[in-house]
Amino acid sequence: MKIQLEKVVTDKGQSFRLFTPSLRNHFYWHYHPEFELVYVEAAAGIRHVGQHVSSYLQSDLVLIGANIPHLNFDYGLQVDYKQIVVQLKEDFLGTAFTNTPEFKTIEKLFSKAYLGLSFTGQTKIKVVEKLRQMQRMDPFSQLLLLIEVLQLLATSTEVIVLNEMDTSVKIFMNDKIRMGNVYEYINSNFDKAPDVNFIAAQVHLSTAAFCRYFKKQTNMTFTEFVNQYRISQAKTLLLQDKNISETGYAVGFQSISHFTKLFKKSTGQNPSAFKTKYLQQ
């Protein structure tokens, strides 16, 4: 479960890659020198970029900088979803961004991408529409529209910064290799009873040392992380119209009242209200 270097290959005659990957059953913890813009549309899923781990609802639009470890956004999705990905080098237009005054805002966008940037609101709506248009265009038209997309992102205030510090491979390589093992274990056992002692031994740490390491990597305790992962999976089941009790037990909670309490703490609403709101939408 070591972190993998993805070799990005563009089509002949193009300076960037536009494609629609489908890797839902593949744990792809990876990095690459290229910047990546990811749009995914699904009932609920998990984003894991650098040290940041959280869930998204309905859709997500994220810009990831060079060499930032991240998990494929469709990993483990059991429902239908759509995905569009753009991969490009920072200098895919040569020195244009550094030498052209009109591109200064995009240059600043690239300089912040190493933190992982999630875009929301009207920015996401407008960018997604342009990404869909790009899929039907010739390469030159795609390039022009891509610049428009980058300018939209660069001037947007509807953005959430995912990490507080540099999480590129050159700084966190050894940690990210270890976190890949941990993340896979949690994904395979969240509906049972993940054992912190077992996974600590698997990554060759004492339980106390592992707990310190895990808290440093995720800003959560092991138990908090497992429960957040369970809540994220529960959202998917609820949006498949499963009932509350069925969902709580399916994701590993032994007490439905405890499940409801944690769900409300995480989302701001109880499972019933969440289900009603999003199924109506």
Domains, the chain, in order of start with CATH, read 4-161 (2.60.120.10), 190-280 (1.10.10.60)
pLDDT at 173: 56
pLDDT at 131: 97
**Confidence bin at 172 (pLDDT 50/70/90):** low
Q: Please list the alpha-helical segments (H only) found in the chain.
A: 96-99, 104-112, 121-134, 139-154, 169-189, 196-202, 207-218, 222-238, 244-250, 256-267, 271-280
**Angle CA(172)–CA(174)–CA(177) in degrees, nearest 5?**
105
Token pair of 270, please? 């109880």
Residues 6 or more apart from 162 whose CB is under 8 A from it?
47, 49, 50, 52, 54, 62, 115, 116, 117, 118
Per-residue pLDDT for 50 more than 90?
A: no
Per-residue pLDDT for 60 more than 90?
A: yes
Q: How far apart are CA 226 and CA 223, in angstroms?
A: 5
Residues 77-128 pLDDT 10s? 767 789 999 999 988 988 888 888 999 999 999 999 999 999 999 999 999 9
Which of 88, 53, 87, 31 lies closest to 163 in space, CA to CA? Answer: 53
Average pLDDT, the chain: 88
Determine contact, residues 274/238, Cβ cutoff 8 Å.
Answer: yes
- Give percent of the chain with pLDDT exceeding 70: 95
Per-residue pLDDT for 3 more than 80?
A: no
Interior/surface letters 263-277, b for 16+ CB within 10 angstroms, e for the rest: beebbeeebeebbee
The secondary structure of residue 2, as a DSSP letter, is: -
Per-residue pLDDT for 254 more than 60?
A: yes
Query: Once rounded to an integer, what is the mean pLDDT over residues 219-235?
Result: 88
Question: Coil, strand, or helix at residue 84?
Answer: strand
Report which secondary-structure segment, H or E, holds 34.
none
Query: Once rounded to an integer, what is the mean pLDDT over residues 259-274?
Result: 91
**Confidence bin at 51 (pLDDT 50/70/90):** confident
Question: Coil, strand, or helix at residue 127?
Answer: helix
Per-residue pLDDT for 14 more than 80?
A: yes
pLDDT at 275: 87
Query: Once rounded to an integer, what is the mean pLDDT over residues 203-229?
Result: 88
Residue with tokens 């990993």: 75
**Confidence bin at 243 (pLDDT 50/70/90):** very high
pLDDT at 15: 94
**Confidence bin at 149 (pLDDT 50/70/90):** very high
Per-residue pLDDT for 1 more than 70?
A: no
Per-residue pLDDT for 233 more than 80?
A: yes
Per-residue pLDDT for 257 more than 90?
A: yes
pLDDT at 2: 66
Per-residue pLDDT for 180 more than 80?
A: no
